[in-house]
Amino acid sequence: MRRERSIQELYRDDPERADALAWGRRGALKGGALAAMGAALGAAIPFAGSMPRGLLPAALAQGGAQGPQYIELPGKARLILQGERPLNAETPETLLDDEVTPAEKMFVRNNGSVPDPVPEPRAWKIRIDGEVNAPLEITLGDLESRFEVVTRRLQMECGGNGRAFFVPQTRGNQWGNGAISCAEWTGVRLRDLLQAAGLKPGAKFTGHHGADRHLSGDGPAISRGMRIEKAMEEDTLVAFRMNGAPIPQIHGAPVRLIVPGWPGSLSQKWFTRLEVLDKPHTGRGMGGTSYRIPVVPIVPGSRNDGADFADMESMPVRSVLTNLAHGTRLPAGTRALDLRGHAWAGDKEISAVHVSVDYGATWQAMEVKAPANRHAWQRWTGRVSLPSDGYFEVWYRATDSDGRMQPHVAGNWNPQGYGANPVSRVAILVG
């Protein structure tokens, strides 16, 4: 005789089915199901009456049975492994607490092989050509002496950050929120080089080139470009120092582009050449569905060649909670949580951050600091109260200066998973 699994066992082994059984067709938790869900979570659920219909608790929905895999690279903190060929690793949200991201805590994003270090970094050459009056070739040493050197705190974010939140799953590394950094970058403004080369009237776009090769050995790992207006912005840099020190090899030494607020794939590592074009660049990583999103929503899970997509430019509004990890257990009697994190929104600023501990029934405004400079992320802090011991979820969302707020569900599904930025949920147990 086959034994039926209890709902506690179902929540452990098959949480989606357990959730469907618990909520039923009317979308309301029954007394027994509520008790069973609490048993699966290991605590009572004080705000169960506010749980949205069919919501799967974050403690059961995130991470899966095995949880994330980690990797410890030389000189790096313990990061979440996203891929080995090429090497990609994500920073856990609780390691993003620094105002300025240290090199050891910066996420790793590669599209191909990492070039060998060069013996004489100051002899590294950069070329500016194409739709310019006087093509420019300059060494890194001359770059520092010839042009004004500036230092800025600048966000750099993988275009696929948040990809794991799309349903159905999309192609690519399943990043959470941690493919983001805000380091201090020192370099020269790209526009100063472009002005020295002299832009022709037809200069409308750029094409970026670096020394990294595709794993197959067939051509460059990636070669992307952008509108000339972004290239001419004050914060778009040709950078050669990170946090006051030479850029680490894995992050693009000896020189790289920094294109803040736009997909990190534009911030060419191991930078060698920029061509100025009269039409969009056609390098690897351009066109089709690569770093492009639908102009008109498409059916999730459907196939699409991206012919009617648009290039992804300014990244969407997003936030992280940096002092409280998912799955934290707190002592019995804890009745207040002091929270802090960061928020950012591509080319925009953050106007508000709100937190809820009752499944979105009510929201509390947090304090948001001004950015150190444009394109730097912003610190948010605040305190929320808890009514009792039990299972809680901290929901947090940011709103940008145009009034765009993180949605409850990742929207505008696309085959390669760009732009997913839903409200984040962290599960905690008190007592």
In the structure, what pLDDT confidence band is assigned to residue 41 with cuts at 50, 70 and 90?
Answer: confident
Taken in order 105, 106, 112, 115, the sign of the CA dihedral is negative
Which residue has better confidence, 271 or 67?
271
The answer to whether the CB of 360 falls within 8 A of the CB of 52 is yes
* Tokens representing residue 401 in the block: 């200066």
C-alpha 360/C-alpha 341 separation (Å) is 19
Token pair 């805590």 is found at 105
* Tokens representing residue 192 in the block: 């100063």
386-426 residue pLDDT tens: 999 999 999 999 999 999 999 999 999 999 999 999 999 99
Domains, the chain, ranges and CATH? 7-61 (no CATH), 70-311 (3.90.420.10), 318-430 (2.60.40.650)
| 3-state secondary structure (DSSP) of residue 60 | helix
According to DSSP, the β-strands at 318-321 and 336-344 are: antiparallel
Cα pseudo-dihedral 257, 261, 266, 270, rounded to 10: 30
**Backbone dihedral angles phi then psi of residue 123, each to the nearest 5 degrees:** -90, -5
| 3-state secondary structure (DSSP) of residue 275 | strand
Look at 14-23, 66-75, 84-93 and tell me which has the smallest mean pLDDT.
14-23
CA nearest neighbour of 93 among 175, 184, 156: 175
pLDDT of residue 8 exceeding 60, the answer is: no
Please write down the HEC assignment for all residues of 22-48: HHCCCCCCCHHHHHHHHHHHCCCCCCH
C-alpha 18/C-alpha 38 separation (Å) is 12
* Residue 102 preceded by cis peptide, ω within 30: no
69-79 residue pLDDT tens: 999 999 999 99
Token pair 């290039």 is found at 311
Cβ neighbours for 382, distance < 8 A, ≥ 6 positions apart: 338, 339, 340, 353, 355, 364, 365, 366, 367
178-231 residue pLDDT tens: 999 999 999 999 999 999 999 999 999 999 999 999 999 899 999 999 999 999
The answer to whether the CB of 338 falls within 8 A of the CB of 383 is yes
- Give helix then strand counts, H and E, for the chain: 7, 24
421-430 residue pLDDT tens: 999 999 999 9
pLDDT of residue 35 exceeding 80, the answer is: no
**Backbone dihedral angles phi then psi of residue 397, each to the nearest 5 degrees:** -145, 150
pLDDT of residue 114 exceeding 90, the answer is: yes
Per-residue model confidence (pLDDT) at position 55: 80
Token pair 């949920």 is found at 425
The answer to whether the CB of 170 falls within 8 A of the CB of 162 is no
Burial 139-151 (b: 16+ CB within 10 A, else e): bbeebeeebeeee
- In this structure, the chain runs to a length of 431
Burial 292-327 (b: 16+ CB within 10 A, else e): bbbeeebeeeeeeebeebebbbebbbbbbbbebebe
pLDDT of residue 64 exceeding 50, the answer is: no
What stretch of H or E contains 309? Answer: strand 309-311
C-alpha 106/C-alpha 276 separation (Å) is 30
pLDDT of residue 155 exceeding 60, the answer is: yes
